[in-house]
Amino acid sequence: MLTAVRRFLFGSPLPTAEEVHQRLTKVKALAVFSSDALSSVAYATEEILLVLVVAGSAALGFSLPIALVIAGLLAIVATSYYQTIHGYPSGGGAYIVAYDNLGVWPGLTAAAALLIDYVLTVAVSITAGIAAITSAFPVLLPFRVELCLLAIALIAWANLRGVRESGTLFAIPTYGFVFIFLTLIVVGLVRLITGTLSPALVHTTPGVGRGTQALTLFLILRAFASGCTALTGIEAISNGIPAFQKPEADNAGKTLIAMAALLMTMFLGITFLARSLGVTPVEDQTVVSQIGRQVFGNGPLYLALQAATALILVLAANTSFADFPRLSAILARARYLPRQLTNLGDRLVFANGIIALAFLASSLVVVFGGQTHRLIPLYAVGVFLSFTLSQMGMVRHWHKERGQGWQWKVAVNGLGAVATGAVLLVIAASKFIHGAWIVILLIPIFVWMFRTIKRHYLTLAKQLSLEGLGLEEWVGMASYQTHKVVVPVSGMHRGTLAALRFARSLSKDVTAVVVDVEPQFTASVREKWPVWGHDVPLVVLESPYRSTIGSLLAYLDEVDQREPERGPAVVVLPEFVPARWWHHLLHNQTALLLKTVLTYRQGQTGQDRVIIDVPYHLRR
Amino acid sequence: MLTAVRRFLFGSPLPTAEEVHQRLTKVKALAVFSSDALSSVAYATEEILLVLVVAGSAALGFSLPIALVIAGLLAIVATSYYQTIHGYPSGGGAYIVAYDNLGVWPGLTAAAALLIDYVLTVAVSITAGIAAITSAFPVLLPFRVELCLLAIALIAWANLRGVRESGTLFAIPTYGFVFIFLTLIVVGLVRLITGTLSPALVHTTPGVGRGTQALTLFLILRAFASGCTALTGIEAISNGIPAFQKPEADNAGKTLIAMAALLMTMFLGITFLARSLGVTPVEDQTVVSQIGRQVFGNGPLYLALQAATALILVLAANTSFADFPRLSAILARARYLPRQLTNLGDRLVFANGIIALAFLASSLVVVFGGQTHRLIPLYAVGVFLSFTLSQMGMVRHWHKERGQGWQWKVAVNGLGAVATGAVLLVIAASKFIHGAWIVILLIPIFVWMFRTIKRHYLTLAKQLSLEGLGLEEWVGMASYQTHKVVVPVSGMHRGTLAALRFARSLSKDVTAVVVDVEPQFTASVREKWPVWGHDVPLVVLESPYRSTIGSLLAYLDEVDQREPERGPAVVVLPEFVPARWWHHLLHNQTALLLKTVLTYRQGQTGQDRVIIDVPYHLRR
């Protein structure tokens, strides 16, 4: 029954042998790896405007110079990653590059930053995607948190079933998005030049004209920091090089350049249009939606724009659902995370990682009310920390390798490291009180957690190791040893008989024990014992404090101490198993409790006690 | 550690022998048994006014005639219970009287009504008690739900420690309450007559003068129904007769008359004062508090009034913490409720019943926002249903017994049954949509639950019974049977060795099984096996779908079917036990999962499989 539901939801199990990889052409690879980066143009401009608007609508003019600086930064980072692709053709994620070249601590720091980023990518992309939908259909606005949770659940479900990163599947929404965005920009520019589009405010927010804060340098830096979210996802190609057709690194490099060019064009175009049309950020409609309504009107082209935006943002979230479980499996294999994260599920996916990501991203969405701009301050810190560590790692890499033209390569990655490091400081400082502090606090906590987990696994391996064990002590033992066996009895019933029978088949030295909590029960056991007791001696334990478990434990300790050389007595537990789950609620869970206590508690002799469960199934 | 905390919180365990009962004088008994009944004067008048006020302040004049009718009803019910006391000198709760005289179904109905009532007594008393406090300190009003939950938690904690129903402890607040209430009434009347107290509205609620509804008969009946909460708790003495000094029934009867007289005086006095002072119910202050401020001013006497009110309401809630666990233990012994409710805890209290009551009452407080008047419509239904069933039972009792003057006794209890039955109908009808429907729905659900639970226990007893079992089959079995033993192995470590050693001591027919999910693990096991394998054959199971548990279960079925006459193979499970609780999170819970699946799943041969747990404790 449960299995059938599971099959229906997640499909039949896939054999391990089906784990094959498909190689991607450049065109398909761009679709697969760029959704995260390209989709950020859907919100990056708006985030800049949202900061500037507090200084009044005049301040919005700064958006264009800020966007140009960000575009320059994008060029630096893209060049830097172009080199990483050639330095790590097998895939150079920030964790691997930092770990290899800078050591354990920077590696773990990068890993922590990346894990946090993946969670935030899901939360930011989904809230922005749902914002694209609620902009077109404002009636849905009150349900945005619910819609976000639904979207996350659907993506998680698709990933649990196992979506292949199929190029064809990704190509349609990605290229659709690029196409409609470029159309928007071109049509908008043409209509601006021909004068058929007059700059008119769609909404006028009261009081926006004046603004509530002065336009300080700090505010401009904060707007810049918000806009830097446009760069998120740019590293994706450098992680996925093995998926490219041969020559992998060359193809990946070209794809990266194409992606960076597209991203820069779209980001600058949207920011320019927003400025020229005098768009002001409002609560219930995104900036892109406002531009779309002005340029396209309310017709099918506008709806297509919103649909494409929502779709690519869902794809962007989806990339994290591939990256997060993969990185956590890598960390788990290195023993820095619980080993359950390495389990390849029925459908050849890291199911636990997918579930963890969905849970964490959903929590963020709920806590931050499904609002993109409240999540943004948390977002960029981790991204730029991993950028910086990765570039620093590459500097070290070239320096160690000293290949042809290594000084030049060091200079390029060095510039990247300095630029992203400076931006990181700007972001951390300007966004600190708005939420960046959360990530700044979380990263060392994660690193500490990684180390603690690793230490546990190492200690464990040492304790369980066979090295230095004496063969005689552990293997050369006589068979058919006569164990001391104790059977706790709660009443005379078929379950008791089954347990006694098994105990007698084990050993001649069996004792049954009943704790005298309810006198009438004890009397009934005593009465039936001569007939049904398998000739086993019956011990009645007084229990003035009515503690069944306490009395049994004391008795077991006493038995063990009588002949310590024979080891702890084996406990045979009669347990009847109800036919329906709710029947459990109607029974004292004494057997379960006793089992748990005995498992966790070592006997006074310090040896481990064996516990034998003899179930007796009830039929209804 | 845990034990120490538990001792600190709840005290040391008490031996069963300490379960003794103290006999109460009439004066102390009045204090112990009347807090529930007397405390209702703190809110009953207000509940009448709250209904009438919707018809405008002129309608408030009806409160006095309504109070007089309720006083008459009180006289009838008290007389009726006076007879019950003499008919059931060993304690005649509604459940026992109805069960004995009317049969199973009416008995269970009364039990359901009583359990619901006890929960509501706690919720109503606590919310009203906290209202007395927030009336004096309005600053606490926003925290009333939190304060209610805190109060319930404290009472539950005191009861888990085991508060004796100590007469002395109860006497101070109860008599303090009676004293200050009578003082309030006397001073109020004297000042009214001498004209030093002018009827002036403390608060004027806008629009109250006109009212929003017409003053219909239905509204008056609804006000009457609300006022009937004054009668709650009047049955307490008839349940507690054995606690009185000899002659128990006589003393209990006299105490009942004293309590009824006090209750009637206080209820009529407060209602009269409320009328004469023109008090209108308001949101942030109770009616009693308004009267108190007018009569006493804002000085220490007023604060004493509020403190005494809050205190007796806490005592009233406390009585339910004695009654609910006791009744549920009685029902559980009769197998109508889970048997855990009969467990006498460390401190000689029915801990599970106390916890259940605290949980249910807290839920009610949260759901109804800590507001007394929203809980009242639920309250009276159960009370009057149990009154009616109890009186009907007494009619039957006298009729069966036919002792001296039985016709007279039948007439008295008959009048009581008719009166409370009529009131029950009025309450159910007039309060139906305001919440009475919840209780009317819950009572049959409870009764159905009682029967279902009883049926389960009866079925269980039949299935476990030794009757009709063949002695040869169940007892006369050869010792030292050679079991088939299977040891699932996940890797070569000390835990595995311990399990293999135990398995070999059990039987010569041992097989070790490893599921090939991770090839490098399997290889390591194969390599170490010749040295450490105890000469046990090792079987490697292919698992194309990476399901350890699925492959093991299939293998066990196969082994069982090979020699079905030998019964299911015994499974010996190596299990290492981590030293810290959080270490569990770092391990696949395969052993635990396998144990659970094996316990609940019967083998294909339909017999029960024995599971042996060999723990290996990690030291850190």
3-class SS string, B399-425: HHHCCCCHHHHHHHHHHHHHHHHHHHH
Q: Do A586 and B498 touch (CB under 8 A)?
A: no
Would you say residue A198 has pLDDT above 70? no
Q: Which of A14, A343, A612 sits opposite B610 (nearest CB)?
A: A612
Both tokens of A289, joined, read 């939606």
Q: How far is A544 from chain B (nearest CA, A)?
A: 5
**Range B38-48 average pLDDT:** 93
Residues of B in contact with A512 (CB under 8 A): none
What's the pLDDT tens digit per position in A379-421? 989 999 999 999 999 999 999 988 888 899 999 999 999 999 9
Beta bridge partners of A575: A615
**Range A243-260 average pLDDT:** 90
| Cα A116 to chain centroid, rounded | 8
Interface-testing mutation among B517, B617, B620, with chain A (most A C-beta atoms within 10 A): B617
Q: What is the pLDDT of residue B199?
A: 59
Distance CA B431, CA B450 (A): 27
Residues of A in contact with B566 (CB under 8 A): none
Q: Which of A480, A583, A614 sits opposite B505 (nearest CB)?
A: A480
Query: What residue type is A428 in one-letter code?
Result: A
Query: What residue type is B36 in one-letter code?
Result: D
CA distances from B75 to A129, A440, A531, B89, B97 (A): 70, 72, 62, 21, 21
Q: How far is A608 from chain B (nearest CA, A)?
A: 6
What's the pLDDT tens digit per position in B61-107? 899 999 999 999 999 999 999 998 988 888 778 898 999 999 999 99
Neighbours of B453 (CB within 10 A): 21
Residue position matching structure tokens 């919840």:
B438
Q: What is the pLDDT of residue A404?
A: 86
What's the pLDDT tens digit per position in B337-375? 998 888 777 677 788 999 999 999 999 999 999 999 899
For residues B37 and B259, is the Cβ–Cβ distance under 8 A?
yes
Query: What residue type is B555 in one-letter code?
Result: Y
Would you say residue A476 has pLDDT above 60? no
Both tokens of A304, joined, read 């297509």
Q: What is the pLDDT of residue A186?
A: 95
For residues A201 and A6, is the Cβ–Cβ distance under 8 A?
no
For residues A547 and B346, is the Cβ–Cβ distance under 8 A?
yes
Residues of A in contact with B464 (CB under 8 A): 493-495, 576, 616, 618
Distance CA B36, CA B121 (A): 8
Q: Percent of chain B scored above 90 by pLDDT?
A: 47
Lowest mean pLDDT among A164-173, A481-490, B133-142: A164-173
Strand order in the sheet with A570-577: A538-542, A510-516, A485-489, A570-577, A611-617, B611-617, B570-577, B484-489, B509-516, B538-542
Q: Do A608 and B616 touch (CB under 8 A)?
A: yes
Q: Do A501 and B475 touch (CB under 8 A)?
A: yes
CA distances from A475 to A466, B331, B490 (A): 12, 56, 18
Distance CA B563, CA B603 (A): 13
For residues B552 and B513, is the Cβ–Cβ distance under 8 A?
yes
Q: What is the pLDDT of residue A353?
A: 92
Neighbours of A511 (CB within 10 A): 16
Contacts of A40 (CB under 8 A, 6+ apart): A229, A230, A231, A232, A233, A263, A316
For residues B312 and B425, is the Cβ–Cβ distance under 8 A?
no
Interface-testing mutation among A466, A521, A596, with chain B (most B C-beta atoms within 10 A): A466
B8-22, B47-61, B189-203, B235-249, range with greatest mean pLDDT: B47-61
Q: Do B546 and A344 touch (CB under 8 A)?
A: yes
For residues A329 and A342, is the Cβ–Cβ distance under 8 A?
yes
Q: Do A546 and B344 touch (CB under 8 A)?
A: yes
Would you say residue A20 has pLDDT above 60? no
Q: Do B611 and A608 touch (CB under 8 A)?
A: no
CA dihedral over B423, B268, B364, B240, signed as positive or negative: negative
ipTM: 0.74
Q: Which of A346, A608, A620 sits opposite B498 (nearest CB)?
A: A608
Interface-testing mutation among B611, B616, B619, B620, with chain A (most A C-beta atoms within 10 A): B611
Respond yes or no on whether the N-terminal peptide bond of residue B138 is cis (omega within 30° of 0).
Answer: no
Q: What is the pLDDT of residue B201?
A: 47
Q: What is the pLDDT of residue A201?
A: 47
**Chain B residue with Cα closest to A495:** B464
Interface of A with B in 597-616 (CB under 8 A): 599-600, 602, 608-616
What's the pLDDT tens digit per position in B555-589? 998 998 888 888 889 999 998 888 777 777 777 77
Q: Do B545 and A608 touch (CB under 8 A)?
A: no
For residues A140 and A132, is the Cβ–Cβ distance under 8 A?
no
Would you say residue A209 has pLDDT above 70? no
Both tokens of A120, joined, read 């935030």
Number of CB pairs < 8 Å for A and B?
199
Q: What is the pLDDT of residue A49?
A: 94
Q: Percent of chain B scored above 70 by pLDDT?
A: 91
Q: Do B474 and A497 touch (CB under 8 A)?
A: yes
Would you say residue A307 has pLDDT above 70? yes
Q: What is the pLDDT of residue A199?
A: 59
The verdict on A483 touching B (C-beta cutoff 8 Å) is yes
| Cα A82 to chain centroid, rounded | 28
**Range B302-323 average pLDDT:** 91
Contacts of B562 (CB under 8 A, 6+ apart): none
For residues A52 and B581, is the Cβ–Cβ distance under 8 A?
no
Would you say residue B479 has pLDDT above 50? no
B294 by Cβ neighbours in 10 Å (0-12 / 13-18 / 19+) ranks as buried
Helix or strand run (H / E) with residue B169 = helix B167-194
Both tokens of A614, joined, read 């003899």
Q: Which of A339, A346, A508 sits opposite B586 (nearest CB)?
A: A339
DSSP B535: T
Q: What is the pLDDT of residue B164?
A: 60
**Chain A residue with Cα closest to B532:** A475
Where residue A349 falls among pLDDT bands split at 50, 70, 90?
confident
Would you state the torsion angle of the CA atoms of residues B45, B47, B50, B51, taken in this order, to the nearest 10 degrees?
Answer: -110
Distance CA A374, CA A363 (A): 14
Which residue pairs from A579-587 have beta carbons closer than 8 angstroms and sit at least 24 positions apart in sequence? A579/A617, A579/A618, A579/A619, A579/A620, A583/A618, A583/B456, A583/B460, A585/B338, A586/B338, A586/B339, A586/B453, A586/B456, A586/B457, A587/B338, A587/B339, A587/B340
Q: Please write down the HEC assignment for all residues of B420-440.
A: HHHHHHHHHHHCHHHCHHHHH
Query: What pairing do the DSSP bridges indicate for beta strands B611-617 and A611-617?
Result: antiparallel
Burial letters for B310-338: b for 16+ Cβ neighbours within 10 Å, e otherwise?
Answer: bbbbbbbbbbbbbbbbbbbbbbbebbbbb
Q: What is the pLDDT of residue A18?
A: 61
Interface-testing mutation among B14, B458, B463, B587, with chain A (most A C-beta atoms within 10 A): B463
Neighbours of A504 (CB within 10 A): 22
3-state secondary structure of A24: strand
Lowest mean pLDDT among A451-455, A562-566, B267-271: A562-566
Would you say residue A374 has pLDDT above 70? yes
Would you say residue B147 has pLDDT above 80? yes
Would you say residue A603 has pLDDT above 70? no
Contacts of A467 (CB under 8 A, 6+ apart): none
- Model pTM above 0.90: no
Lowest mean pLDDT among A25-34, A224-233, B172-181, B308-317: A25-34
**Higher pLDDT pick, B580 / A326:** A326
Q: Which of A346, A477, A505 sits opposite B501 (nearest CB)?
A: A477
Distance CA B309, CA B300 (A): 14
What's the pLDDT tens digit per position in B505-539? 888 899 999 998 888 888 989 988 988 887 899 99
What's the pLDDT tens digit per position in B398-430? 999 888 888 999 999 999 999 999 999 999 999
